[in-house]
Chain A
Amino acid sequence: MTEPFNEGTPTPLEAVEGLKTGPEASLWSDAWRQLRRRPMFIISAFLVVLMMLIALFPGLFNFSGYDPRDCPLAVDGVPNVRLGPSAEHWFGTDLLGCDYYARVIYGARVSISIGIIVTVFSTLVSLVFGSIAGYYGGFIDTFIARITDVVFAIPVILGGILILSLFRQRGILLVSVVLIVLGWPTMLRLARSSVLSVKENEYVDAARALGASNFRIIRRHILPNSLAPVIVYATITVGVIISAEAALSFLGVGLQLPAISWGLMLAAAQNRLRTDPHLLLFPGLFLSITVFAFILLGDALRDALDPRLR
Chain B
Amino acid sequence: MGRYIIRRMLQFIPVFFVTTFMIFLMVYAMPGDPIRALAGDRQMSASTLEALRERYNLNDPFVVQYGKYMKGIFGFLWLDGDLGTDFRGQPVTEKLAAKLPITIRLALMAFGFEVVIGILAGILAGVRQKGFVDNLVLVSTLVVIAIPIFVLGFIAQYMLGVRFGIMPISYNARDPLFSLLMPSLVLGSVSLAYIARLTRTSLVENLRGDYVRTATSKGLSRRRVVGIHTLRNSMIPVVTFLAIDLGALMGGAIITETIFNVPGIGREIYDSVTHQENAVVVGIVTFMVIVYMLANLVVDVLYAVLDPRIRYD
Stretch touching chain B among A58-66, A118-126, A201-209, A287-295: A287-295
Chain A residue, CB-CB nearest to B22: A150
- Cross-chain contact of B255 among A149, A250, A287 (Cβ < 8 A): A250
Query: Is A288 a contact of B145 with CB atoms below 8 Å?
Result: no
Query: Is B273 a contact of A280 with CB atoms below 8 Å?
Result: no
CB of B252 within 8 Å of the partner chain: yes
CA distance A247 to B151 in the complex (A): 9
Query: Is A288 a contact of B147 with CB atoms below 8 Å?
Result: yes
CB of A37 within 8 Å of the partner chain: no
The majority secondary structure among interface residues of chain A is: helix
CA distance A280 to B151 in the complex (A): 8
Query: Is B26 a contact of A284 with CB atoms below 8 Å?
Result: no
CA distance A149 to B259 in the complex (A): 30
CB of B211 within 8 Å of the partner chain: no
Contacts of B26 in A (CB 8 A): 162-163, 166
Stretch touching chain B among A18-26, A68-76, A80-88, A152-160: A152-160
Query: Is A292 a contact of B143 with CB atoms below 8 Å?
Result: yes
User: What is the CB-to-nearest-CB distance from B155 to chain A, in angstroms, rounded to a whole number?
Assistant: 7
B197-208: contact bitstring with A at CB < 8 Å (1 yes, 0 no)? Answer: 000010011000
Stretch touching chain A among B58-66, B103-111, B284-292: B284-292
Query: Is B270 a contact of A251 with CB atoms below 8 Å?
Result: yes
Total interface residues on B, CB under 8 Å, equals 49
* Number of A-B pairs, beta carbon distance below 8 Å: 118
Query: Is B29 a contact of A251 with CB atoms below 8 Å?
Result: no
CB of B23 within 8 Å of the partner chain: yes
Mark out the residues of chain A between 163 and 181 whose CB falls within 8 Å of any chain B CB in the assembled complex. Answer: 163, 165-168
CA distance A291 to B142 in the complex (A): 10
CB of B148 within 8 Å of the partner chain: yes
Query: Is A296 a contact of B285 with CB atoms below 8 Å?
Result: no
CB of B173 within 8 Å of the partner chain: no
Mark out the residues of chain A between 182 and 220 whose CB falls within 8 Å of any chain B CB in the assembled complex. Answer: none
CA distance A164 to B190 in the complex (A): 25
- Mind listing 10 A-B residue pairs with CB under 8 Å? A146-B11, A150-B22, A153-B289, A156-B251, A166-B29, A167-B31, A239-B146, A266-B154, A273-B157, A277-B158
A interface residue numbers (CB < 8 A to B): 146, 149-150, 152-158, 161-163, 165-168, 239, 243, 246-247, 250-253, 266, 270, 273-274, 277, 280, 284, 287-288, 291-292, 295-296, 299, 308-309
B interface residue numbers (CB < 8 A to A): 11, 14-15, 18-19, 22-23, 26-27, 29-31, 142-143, 145-151, 154-155, 157-158, 162, 169, 201, 204-205, 247-248, 250-252, 254-255, 258-259, 269-270, 273-274, 281, 285, 288-289, 292-293
